[in-house]
A and B are shown apart, each in its own frame.
Chain A
Amino acid sequence: MTANPNVNAAAPVLQLQDIRKTFGGITAIENFSLEVRPGEIVALVGDNGAGKSTLIKIISGVYTPTSGTITIEGESVAMSNATMARAHGIEVVYQDLALADQQTVYMNMFLGREPVNGFGLLDRRRMINETEKLVKELDVRIPSAHAAVRDLSGGQRQGVAIARATHWASKLILLDEPTAALGVAETAKVEEIVLSLKQRNIGVLIISHSLDQVFKLADRICVLRRGKQIGVRETDKTDKNEIIAMITGLQQH
């Protein structure tokens, strides 16, 4: 616990220090250190098998790191499942979105965390109101909070998944390839939503294969190669050539 609230506010929402993860004899991640500050978007890039998913699973509580520390707003935490990560204010938007297709948008927003009234019955009014409010704030254009998710377009579904994460995340949102399955216009819309998350003073960690997107959205870019952290660059002070060189490990000039 830090006594000074100002120090707390400036502190990174997420701090990873010397994270190392091994599976049997295989090292998936080593010497990984990264900070995400509130209102900041950090991109995690690297080739397939670089260790991005392992890292996401560590931050979302699915894997426990072999060594190293995870600090959330100055407090060191040990997580052993996704529920614990959620309790710490970390939400994940999975690549497959983890939406229940036949249920309504508002039921998906509250999946597993449905509010109930005094009789123990679902408080639908509250779920609908909060869904409508958030969907409007984030400008996710869905027909209605009552719509079944299966009737939405890919971009709308992604919007719902991000809205859900935004609703519950108090510290950090992890976005795993948020536009991989989307068309051009829908990608632009989702990117807009991601950028608007900065105003909410939470950290965003985004995994993306599109360097265009990374340069458009991220404040800093962290490059992984074969489980090793190659470096972190501020987006303003680097260019695609440097990042590509870092990703591929080919000469840097």
Chain B
Amino acid sequence: MPSANTSAASQANSFASRFNLQQYVVYFGFLAIFLFFAIVLKDSGFLTVRNLSNIVLQTAPATIMAIGLVFVMSAGEIDLSIGSTVAVAALAAAVTVNEYGLVAGVLAGIGAGLLIGLLNGALVAYVKLPSFLVTLATMGLFAGVARSMTDLRSIPVTDSTFTGFFGSGVFLGIPSLIWWTAIAVAVGHIIYRETRFGAHVLAIGDNARAASVSGISVPKMRLAVLMISGGLAGLAGLLYAGRLQAAKYTLGETDLMTVIAAVIVGGTLLNGGKGSIIGALVGSLMMGMLNNGLILMGLSVSDQMIVRGLIILAAVAVSLREKSR
């Protein structure tokens, strides 16, 4: 519809200056929350190196999931099944690593994630079902699978190489969870911003028809982003299992909201076509910091949930204001 496009374009001109600000909301929000806690929790240990590095360690799985979700949402899709994928992958890895060793365990965890991504992706790309409904269904389905895999039991992970590699280990003086976060962010950012693949992800999310007539295979791209998301959720599952030295069906259960919030606050459009891996990292750290600070402030769990919900609402509202056209 050319006429609609024209009016939208002229509207966009007047929004241009404000729109740019929206990209940086996450950085301002991060700073504001950081300063707030730094002042209010001055004597409660918020600013200690130990506490701050703890925040980064605890957010590692969510950050990794967020990277996958940036790809999915930039392509105009959504993946609601990442939380359940984390649990299935962690359990698959824990059971396998105890039986067959490290390599098999890693392959089982990542493989489980990729398979769930393949299922989601095939249904979205080739059966042409909406990703919201597909992943809503597989979210429930694999939450059930995770529960039945070990009859709700927690599986301890005793392999110290595994728990070191994915959890408590330190390499060159830096905890392994920070390595994983840094590598995933760096690789994700380069693929997203600097490769044809990343450009095509944005193109199909922006205008699938334009991408299609330009020779980009839209179904293949949809399959790919959902497999990336599944694979990274699998990796997040390994990190949980490594850090907690155990896997349980509850892992990842409450991450979905945090991850979606981190991605949106980080400047990725819910409707696709635009996003940021670095923004998602900062968004994820902001969520982790919020969690940490609210606990240190001594809020009850129910109060924490309410405050966190309100802050996410505010942040998302600011981030989305310019986008709802």
Chain A interface residues (CB < 8 Å from chain B): 82-83, 86, 92, 94-103, 107, 111-114, 116, 120-122, 148-154, 157, 180-182
- In B182-240, the 8 Å CB interface with A consists of 190, 194-196, 199-200, 202-203, 206-207, 209-211, 213-216
Q: What's the tally of chain B residues with a CB closer than 8 Å to chain A?
A: 31
Find chain A residues with CB under 8 A from B243 CB. none
Partner of B5, one of A112, A113, A154: A154
Q: How far is the CA of A195 from the CA of B6 in the complex (A)?
A: 23
- A99 contacts B195, CB within 8 Å? no
Partner of A121, one of B8, B190, B213, B215: B190
Find chain B residues with CB under 8 A from A180 CB. 2
Query: What are 14 inter-chain pairs, A to B, with CB distance below 8 A?
Result: A96-B209, A97-B2, A99-B207, A101-B206, A102-B274, A111-B211, A111-B216, A112-B215, A121-B190, A149-B9, A150-B8, A153-B13, A157-B5, A180-B2
- A154 contacts B273, CB within 8 Å? no
**Would you give the shortest CB distance from A238 to chain B, in whole angstroms?**
29
Find chain A residues with CB under 8 A from B2 CB. 95-97, 154, 180-181
- A94 contacts B273, CB within 8 Å? no
- B206 contacts A103, CB within 8 Å? yes
**Would you give the shortest CB distance from A216 to chain B, in whole angstroms?**
20
Find chain A residues with CB under 8 A from B211 CB. 100, 111-112
Q: How far is the CA of A127 from the CA of B8 in the complex (A)?
A: 26
- Report if A157-B9 is in contact (Cβ < 8 Å); known contacts: A103-B206, A121-B194: yes
Q: Closest 6 A-B residue pairs measured CB to CB?
A: A181-B2, A112-B214, A154-B6, A100-B206, A98-B210, A102-B273
**Chain B residue with Cβ nearest A157:** B9
Find chain A residues with CB under 8 A from B196 CB. 114, 116, 122
- Report if A102-B215 is in contact (Cβ < 8 Å); known contacts: A96-B2, A122-B196, A180-B2: no
Q: How far is the CA of A116 from the CA of B13 in the complex (A)?
A: 31
- A113 contacts B9, CB within 8 Å? no
- Majority DSSP secondary structure for residues of A touching B: loop
**Chain A residue with Cβ nearest B216:** A112
A-B pairs under 8 A by CB, number: 97
Find chain B residues with CB under 8 A from A116 CB. 195-196
**Would you give the shortest CB distance from A243 to chain B, in whole angstroms?**
25
- B13 contacts A151, CB within 8 Å? yes
State whether the Cβ of B311 lies closer than 8 Å to any Cβ in chain A: no
Q: How far is the CA of A83 from the CA of B13 in the complex (A)?
A: 34
Partner of A111, one of B8, B12, B214: B214
Find chain A residues with CB under 8 A from B16 CB. 151
- Report if A101-B273 is in contact (Cβ < 8 Å); known contacts: A150-B8, A154-B2, A181-B3: yes
Find chain B residues with CB under 8 A from A153 CB. 6, 9-10, 13
- Report if A112-B200 is in contact (Cβ < 8 Å); known contacts: A98-B213, A102-B269: yes
Find chain B residues with CB under 8 A from A95 CB. 2
Find chain A residues with CB under 8 A from B12 CB. 148, 150-151
Q: How far is the CA of A99 from the CA of B2 in the complex (A)?
A: 11
Find chain B residues with CB under 8 A from A103 CB. 199, 202-203, 206, 273
Known A100-B273, A154-B9; further 4 A-B contacts with Cβ < 8 A: A102-B202, A112-B215, A116-B196, A181-B2
- Report if A107-B199 is in contact (Cβ < 8 Å); known contacts: A83-B215, A102-B206, A112-B214: yes
**Chain B residue with Cβ nearest A107:** B199
- Report if A121-B195 is in contact (Cβ < 8 Å); known contacts: A94-B213, A100-B211, A112-B200: yes
State whether the Cβ of B172 lies closer than 8 Å to any Cβ in chain A: no
